[in-house]
Amino acid sequence: MLMYTCTNSRDISVTVQVLIVRGVLV
């Protein structure tokens, strides 16, 4: 994930949402 220095805000939002979902499930 951190490999990409320049990423779109949408990509970052999706990544954050996935991390939140994983946190909730786990």
Instruction: State residue 2's pLDDT score.
Output: 53
Residue type, 21: V
Burial 9-20 (b: 16+ CB within 10 A, else e): eeeeeeeeeeee
Q: Is 19 left (phi over 0), alpha (psi -120 to 50) or beta?
A: alpha
How far is Cα 20 from Cα 2, in angstroms, rounded to an integer?
Answer: 17
- Give 1-26 pLDDT, tens digit per residue: 455 555 566 778 888 888 889 988 76
How far is Cα 10 from Cα 26, in angstroms, rounded to an integer?
Answer: 24
Instruction: State residue 10's pLDDT score.
Output: 72
Domain extent at residue 19: 1-25
Instruction: State residue 1's pLDDT score.
Output: 47
Structural domains counted in the chain? 1
User: What does pTM read for this prediction?
Assistant: 0.48
How far is Cα 1 from Cα 19, in angstroms, rounded to an integer?
Answer: 11
